[in-house]
């Protein structure tokens, strides 16, 4: 009875991500989590194929992360960052500077990925404003991108196929180039960058920055593109005196097969956004890093004050867990784990390509995507229950069925996820 009452209360009063409270989605109550499994209130356990929206790379209930949180909470769970500092923030900043590209030397801690993007945009615009270049206030990006749900971030999400079209009339107007289509460097053609090149050439006097998700466009369609595109963008930004922001919030910490996706292009951004897996999925924390060049530009007016300061900035508890999560990752054979996941996804998803409903199969690192010809939004009255009945947790959206499992997943559990994807396709085919 208590479970039923809880779910009824939830449906009546609680808003869930991208949902309606007048027509609430089907919800399953989780009571505990361990490894790659979630335990539901009805006693069933399901394999999490989503890593809690790509963040729980070490799985759940990790003893080292638990211990780090317990030790820190006994010292202090939070203290304001204005005028004060603490060891977890200093330690985490050191780690982030050490593992990212050498020019990235300044760290701004934020509450979430969307806010990390907001800070990055502020950094870019203020960099030029402080130097007297007040016309450089716009950004250039590509279609099919997603950078968050706050207003600055929404403005650089895809304005046509994104989730924020109703706000278009009140958002800042930025420039959009066609999304990159070349998947492999061997197939690179200069035409893939042609319109982007024209836009940056014609508008560089008003462009503060380019913002992109490197190698993988995530919520905008989970599209993969080749490193050469990033190299070309970096060159064009340098030629036209435009900053480059890379949004690695979804791709950071090994998800694409390298620690950071930009490493596959052997470039360095001027500003880098990190988040999601930063704490191993334990709590919300993100960071925006920038080069000394950007910081010095912001200081060119004599103050250097970046006008942003979240209440929970550099939360000690989150910073301490993030430090431990990074250590766990770097001490493990994570590259081999991600490569093994990639190989298994390639082998087990490939047979579905012959299904009539399937448009494309894509795999990159620990990301597996089945793209259908048509959206499945109209199937959400039965699909969530059907998925859980397969003993797994997968959250399709639009025309995509995808998984991004924790790196610790075993082969047999990954197979259960890929088989479940096949069962979803078969059920949709009826």
Supply the pLDDT for residue 1. 56
- The verdict on residue 66 lying in a domain is no
The reply to whether 33 and 126 lie within a common domain is no
The reply to whether 314 and 381 lie within a common domain is no
The reply to whether 289 and 353 lie within a common domain is no
CA–CA gap between residue 71 and residue 64 (Å, rounded): 11
Active-site residue flag, 276: yes
Q: Determine the 3-state secondary structure of 327 from DSSP.
A: helix
Given 306, 331, 356, the domain boundary residue is: 331
Of the listed 12, 18, 74, 190, which one is catalytic? Answer: 18
CA–CA gap between residue 399 and residue 376 (Å, rounded): 6
Our CA dihedral for 181, 183, 189, 191, rounded to 10 degrees, sits at: 10
Question: How many domains does the chain divide into?
Answer: 2
CA–CA gap between residue 225 and residue 217 (Å, rounded): 8
Q: Which residues contact 272 (CB under 8 A, 6 or more apart)?
A: 100, 101, 104, 245, 246, 248, 260, 262, 288, 289, 290
Closest CA to 195 of 238, 229, 223: 229
| Global confidence as pTM | 0.96
Of the listed 111, 122, 143, 146, which one is catalytic? Answer: 146
The reply to whether 199 and 290 lie within a common domain is yes
C-beta separation of 322 from 285 below 8 A: yes
The reply to whether 302 and 348 lie within a common domain is no
Given 331, 361, 381, the domain boundary residue is: 331
CA–CA gap between residue 328 and residue 351 (Å, rounded): 35
The reply to whether 323 and 365 lie within a common domain is no
Q: Which residues contact 35 (CB under 8 A, 6 or more apart)?
A: 59, 60, 61, 406, 408
Q: The sheet that has 400-403: what strands, in order across it? A: 358-364, 367-372, 400-403
Active-site residue flag, 18: yes
DSSP 359-385: EEEEEETTEEEEEESS--GGGTTTHHH
Residue numbers of the domain that contains 105:
76-331
Structure tokens at 318: 């989150």
Supply the pLDDT for residue 127. 97
- The verdict on residue 133 lying in a domain is yes
- The verdict on residue 258 lying in a domain is yes
The reply to whether 226 and 374 lie within a common domain is no
Q: Is 149 exposed, middle or buried (0-12, 13-18, 19+ CB in 10 A)?
A: middle
Supply the pLDDT for residue 307. 87
Active-site residue flag, 402: no
CA–CA gap between residue 63 and residue 66 (Å, rounded): 5
Q: Is 70 exposed, middle or buried (0-12, 13-18, 19+ CB in 10 A)?
A: exposed
The reply to whether 345 and 322 lie within a common domain is no
The reply to whether 56 and 98 lie within a common domain is no
Of the listed 276, 352, 364, 402, which one is catalytic? Answer: 276
pLDDT along the chain (430 residues), means of 10: 86 90 89 98 97 97 98 97 97 98 98 97 97 97 94 90 81 94 95 98 98 95 97 98 98 98 98 98 97 97 90 97 98 98 98 96 98 89 93 95 98 98 94
The reply to whether 56 and 169 lie within a common domain is no
CATH code for position 25 = 3.90.1150.10
Structure tokens at 46: 């399901």
CATH code for position 109 = 3.40.640.10
Closest CA to 269 of 386, 87, 406, 120: 120
The reply to whether 355 and 271 lie within a common domain is no
Of the listed 192, 247, 270, 413, which one is catalytic? Answer: 247
CA–CA gap between residue 326 and residue 365 (Å, rounded): 18
- The verdict on residue 69 lying in a domain is no
The reply to whether 228 and 251 lie within a common domain is yes
- The verdict on residue 153 lying in a domain is yes
Active-site residue flag, 364: no
Given 296, 331, 366, the domain boundary residue is: 331
């Amino acid at each position: 009875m208590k479970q039923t009452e809880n779910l009824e209360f939830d449906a009546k009063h609680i808003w869930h991500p991208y949902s309606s409270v007048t027509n609430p989605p089907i919800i399953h109550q989780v009571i505990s989590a361990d490894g790659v499994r979630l335990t539901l209130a009805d006693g069933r356990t399901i394999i999490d194929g989503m890593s809690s929206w790509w963040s729980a790379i070490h799985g759940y209930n990790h003893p080292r992360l638990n211990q780090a949180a317990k030790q820190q909470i006994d010292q202090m769970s939070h203290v304001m960052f204005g005028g004060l500092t603490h060891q977890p923030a200093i330690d985490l900043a050191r780690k982030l500077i050490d593992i990212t590209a050498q020019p990235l030397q300044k760290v701004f801690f934020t509450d979430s990925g969307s806010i990390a993007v907001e800070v990055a945009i502020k950094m870019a615009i203020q960099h030029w404003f402080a130097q007297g270049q007040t016309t450089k206030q716009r950004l250039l990006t590509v279609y099919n991108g997603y950078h968050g749900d706050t207003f600055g971030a929404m403005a650089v999400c895809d304005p046509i196929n994104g989730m924020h079209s109703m706000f278009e009339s009140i958002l800042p107007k930025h420039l959009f180039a066609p999304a990159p289509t070349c998947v492999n460097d061997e197939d690179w053609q200069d035409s893939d960058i042609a319109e982007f090149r024209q836009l940056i050439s014609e508008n560089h006097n008003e462009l503060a920055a380019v913002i992109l998700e490197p190698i993988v466009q995530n919520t905008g369609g989970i599209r993969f593109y080749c490193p050469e595109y990033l190299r070309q963008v970096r060159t064009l930004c340098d030629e036209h005196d435009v900053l480059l922001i890379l949004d690695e919030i979804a791709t950071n910490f090994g998800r694409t097969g390298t620690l950071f996706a930009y490493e596959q292009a052997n470039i360095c951004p001027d500003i880098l956004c990190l988040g999601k897996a930063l704490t191993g999925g334990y709590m919300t924390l993100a960071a925006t890093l920038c080069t000394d060049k950007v910081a010095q530009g912001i200081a060119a007016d004599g103050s250097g004050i970046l006008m942003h300061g979240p209440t929970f900035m550099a939360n000690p508890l989150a910073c301490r867990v993030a430090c431990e999560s990074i250590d766990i990752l770097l001490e493990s054979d994570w590259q081999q784990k991600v490569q093994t996941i990639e190989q298994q996804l390639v082998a087990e998803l490939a047979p579905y390509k012959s299904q009539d409903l399937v448009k494309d199969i894509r795999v990159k690192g620990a990301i597996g995507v089945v793209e259908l010809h048509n959206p499945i939004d109209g199937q959400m009255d039965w699909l969530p229950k059907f998925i859980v009945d397969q003993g797994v947790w997968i959250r399709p959206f639009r025309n995509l069925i995808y998984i991004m499992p924790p790196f610790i997943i075993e082969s047999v559990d990954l197979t259960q996820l890929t088989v479940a994807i096949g069962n979803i396709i078969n059920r949709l085919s009826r």
